[in-house]
Amino acid sequence: MDALLVKDEAQRSQTAEEEDQIGPENDPALKDLAALAAQICEAPVSVLWTIDARGVRIRASAGLQPGDLSSMTLPNPVPMPQDKVFEIPDACADPQFAPNGMLIGGQPFCFYAAAPIGFAPDGAVGALAVLDRLPRKLREPEESALLMLARQAAEKLQLQERVRHLDESISSMQREIDSLAAKAVVPLAGLTDEQKYHQLIEGSLGVIFTHDLDGKLLSLNAHGAAATGREVKEMVGFPLEKFVPAKRQNTIREYLKTIAATGQAQGMMHLTHSAGDVRVLAYRNKLIADGSKTPYVLGFGVDITEQVKAERKLRTLTRQSNSILEAIGDGIFCIDREGRVTVVNAAAAQMLGYRQEEMLGRVMHSLIHHTRADGSFYPMRESPIHKSISSFGTARVRDEVFWRKDGSSFPVEYVARPLIDANSNESGGLRALGVVVAFTDTTERRILDRMKDEFISTVSHELRTPLTSLRGALGLLRGGALEHRPEKSRQMLEIAINNADRLGRLVNDIVDLERISSGKNELHLSLVRAREILHGAVNVNEAQMQGSSTRIRLRPTEVSVWADSERIVQVLKNLLSNAFKFSEPDGEVHISARNIDDQEALFEVRDFGRGISPDKLEHIFERFQSGDASDSRALGGTGLGLTICRRIVNLHGGRIWVTSALGQGTTVHFTLPTRPLMNLR
């Protein structure tokens, strides 16, 4: 990157003098875009700048003081791609910026990301940039949002320029119209210098015309005819309705009634252009009737087509900005200096249990932030949200609660950033207009974090146990302690192999569970006979059955189910394996399937072992749980088999549960559909 730096203070000051200001232009919409960019990208500072022949112009900023804007070091605003964010992850390590990175108001910034603001054919003419003091990179959603906001800013700047030019033209024409209006009260026949009068009319940049009470044009200046792409002779002598779109001709009839009744009228008139488009004329007309001549109407108009288009685009831009606000999943609200809600998006209102209109104008602290998590009173002056108004600093809070309308609370993480009006005080002092707050309900995240911590803790324990045995056995063999004891050596090798196998099963079960939970394993559903599934599960468990005195009793069945046969065999394999482990010697395991009705079939795997205590049944399908934790690991289980079974059965639209009695055995029941379900095709 050839990063010549934008830090020519003489050029900057000269440009500012030409604009009679130093610092951001006073445009609330651009300030809102800058603040929203900083909020979405979680950056302390954002700057919206453009460059032209006169130099760099700071259009808006967030997180900066006015004095900071007079001493800024930013990357050279060379043309950038229109659809890509330009990023410097660590300017503090870049030789062209090091060691202090980019300086703003004497403060170093290491991270810089800019989305181009382009409304010129030869590339970007500015950027919407976010800066951070620490090195980092934007995430993909943040890049997309920054590009979207930059496009909004480009449209806004374009419209500003068009409206400014239109306002200048309208002001100039209005002065001419006002001058001509003073002459309008003089009858045409009584003009003392008609040639001079017509010269003034034809030289006007406005539309000047006369028509009779039926709407027929009597006269029209050349500029007025040119506004519709015609010549004067093509329009004079014809009714106004001829030059108005068909769907608006009724407005001409209403206009003629009004001016005949009241003597004057003003408004907007839509005229067809010879090229096919429609021009909009703002008019102010007066009925001239002095009694000596036939009454006629004298009209003055200004072509405001471009201004109307600009205003329409501004409304579209506003709707788009509102759509962005509503599309953001986080809750966002703005309050004024008194703490009253000025803006609230749908996500915030929904999380807090209110309608949006209920919250507008009310003191937000008394609605959602009045009490701490421990139930103690929370004074508004102590809230980080309101402190940011006086400190002009961004508050980041991770461990507070907001209160819903129904009186319940939920944990939140929020960022509060003051909205600073940098031009509000002539003495140069800062004044915060209010605060914008973005918050997230962290309830689910905290639950997931706790589950993750518990899972990691449990998995580490489950992995460590067989590894300890494995390492101990291998250590004895390596040390030669069993060199003269071949039988003991064989036992140690058996221990090592069994624990290695258990580790393999545990890893496979963890991977299998993750794939099922994330939806990566698709079901291959078809109508299959339960008898084939039952026999398949028995065959898979044949190795475990060898050497065991426990017998399997399989009841014949003619049931068919809508299922993925491979996955249901996996379920039955796990259930049979558990039944064998907890069966008494010379015991039996029963496996069966039967129809409940024409919609569902019931599968059952029953053993006659020791049974499961009632307090353990409730958690039997949770990860690393067992009916009898005292010896389940000794029997080779991973603690994930029943969890996997439940996930697979649920994916099929079925149910699974356990019944058991101590000393009498355990039965696992699960259902499967016997015909295709709407959501399982």
Identify the CATH number of the domain in which residue 505 sits. Answer: 1.10.287.130
- Does the predicted TM-score (pTM) go above 0.75? no
Count of domains forming the chain: 5
Confidence class for position 233, pLDDT limits 50, 70, 90: very high
Lowest mean pLDDT among 2-16, 359-373, 623-637: 2-16
Is there a domain that residue 629 lies in? yes
| Same structural domain, 356 and 280 | no
Beta-carbon contacts of residue 550 (< 8 Å; ≥ 6 apart) = 580, 583, 585, 586, 587, 588, 589
Summarize the confidence of residues 616-637 as an average pLDDT: 60
| Same structural domain, 369 and 271 | no
Q: 357, 323, 354: which is closest to 343 by C-alpha?
A: 357
pLDDT of residue 527: 93
- Cα dist. 62→9, 31, 39, 241 in Å? 21, 7, 9, 53
| Same structural domain, 30 and 65 | yes
Does the pLDDT value for residue 133 go beyond 50? yes
Summarize the confidence of residues 40-51 as an average pLDDT: 89
Beta-carbon contacts of residue 220 (< 8 Å; ≥ 6 apart) = 207, 208, 209, 210, 232, 235, 236
Whichever domain contains 645, its CATH number is 3.30.565.10
Residue span of the structural domain in which 390 resides: 328-441
Beta-carbon contacts of residue 178 (< 8 Å; ≥ 6 apart) = none
pLDDT digits (tens, 9 = 90+) for 662-680: 888 999 999 999 988 765 5
Confidence class for position 541, pLDDT limits 50, 70, 90: confident
Does the pLDDT value for residue 444 go beyond 90? no
Is there a domain that residue 178 lies in? no
pLDDT of residue 205: 60
Q: Where are the alpha helices (DSSP H) in 70-208?
A: 140-183, 194-203
Residue-averaged pLDDT of the chain: 79
pLDDT digits (tens, 9 = 90+) for 504-525: 666 666 666 666 666 666 788 8
Summarize the confidence of residues 57-83 as an average pLDDT: 73
DSSP secondary structure letters along 620-679: TTSTT--S-TTTTTTTT--S-HHHHHHHHHHHTT--EEEEEETTTEEEEEEEEESS-BTT
pLDDT greater at residue 373 or residue 239: 239
pLDDT of residue 561: 95
Summarize the confidence of residues 254-271 as an average pLDDT: 93
| Same structural domain, 398 and 474 | no
Strand partners, 417: 436
pLDDT digits (tens, 9 = 90+) for 283-311: 999 998 877 678 999 998 888 888 888 88
Summarize the confidence of residues 482-503 as an average pLDDT: 68
Does the pLDDT value for residue 184 go beyond 60? no
| Same structural domain, 268 and 196 | yes
pLDDT digits (tens, 9 = 90+) for 16-27: 333 333 334 567
Confidence class for position 260, pLDDT limits 50, 70, 90: very high
Is there a domain that residue 48 lies in? yes
pLDDT of residue 676: 85
Q: CA-to-CA distance for 300 and 265, rounded, in angstroms?
A: 11
pLDDT digits (tens, 9 = 90+) for 106-131: 788 999 999 998 765 545 578 999 99
pLDDT greater at residue 461 or residue 101: 101
Is there a domain that residue 462 lies in? yes
DSSP secondary structure letters along 234-280: GTTTSBGGGGS-GGGHHHHHHHHHHHHHHSEEEEEEEEE-TTS-EEE
Is there a domain that residue 319 lies in? no
| Same structural domain, 74 and 132 | yes
| Same structural domain, 278 and 347 | no
pLDDT of residue 491: 72
Whichever domain contains 337, its CATH number is 3.30.450.20
| Same structural domain, 336 and 295 | no
Whichever domain contains 25, its CATH number is 3.30.450.40
pLDDT greater at residue 463 or residue 364: 364
Q: CA-to-CA distance for 182 and 173, rounded, in angstroms?
A: 14
Looking up tokens 């804007």, which residue turns up? 69
Does the pLDDT value for residue 607 go beyond 60? yes
Is there a domain that residue 166 lies in? no
Domain termination residue (choose one: 462, 496, 516) = 516
Confidence class for position 196, pLDDT limits 50, 70, 90: very low
| Same structural domain, 499 and 640 | no
Three-class SS of residue 383? Answer: coil
Q: How many CA atoms lie within 13 A of 258 on its CB side?
A: 13
pLDDT of residue 24: 42
Does the pLDDT value for residue 247 go beyond 50? yes
Is there a domain that residue 322 lies in? no
| Same structural domain, 246 and 288 | yes
pLDDT of residue 353: 94
| Same structural domain, 656 and 552 | yes
pLDDT of residue 144: 87
DSSP H or E stretch at residue 444 = helix 443-479
pLDDT digits (tens, 9 = 90+) for 407-435: 999 999 999 999 877 565 544 567 788 99
| Same structural domain, 411 and 473 | no
pLDDT of residue 507: 67
pLDDT of residue 206: 79
The bridge status of strand 551-554 relative to strand 588-595 is parallel
pLDDT of residue 23: 38
Domain termination residue (choose one: 476, 498, 516) = 516
pLDDT of residue 16: 35
Summarize the confidence of residues 18-43 as an average pLDDT: 72
Is there a domain that residue 272 lies in? yes
Q: CA-to-CA distance for 276 and 523, rounded, in angstroms?
A: 59
DSSP H or E stretch at residue 505 = helix 486-517
Domain termination residue (choose one: 277, 309, 341) = 309
Does the pLDDT value for residue 90 go beyond 50? yes
Express as a percent the part of the chain with pLDDT over 70. Answer: 73
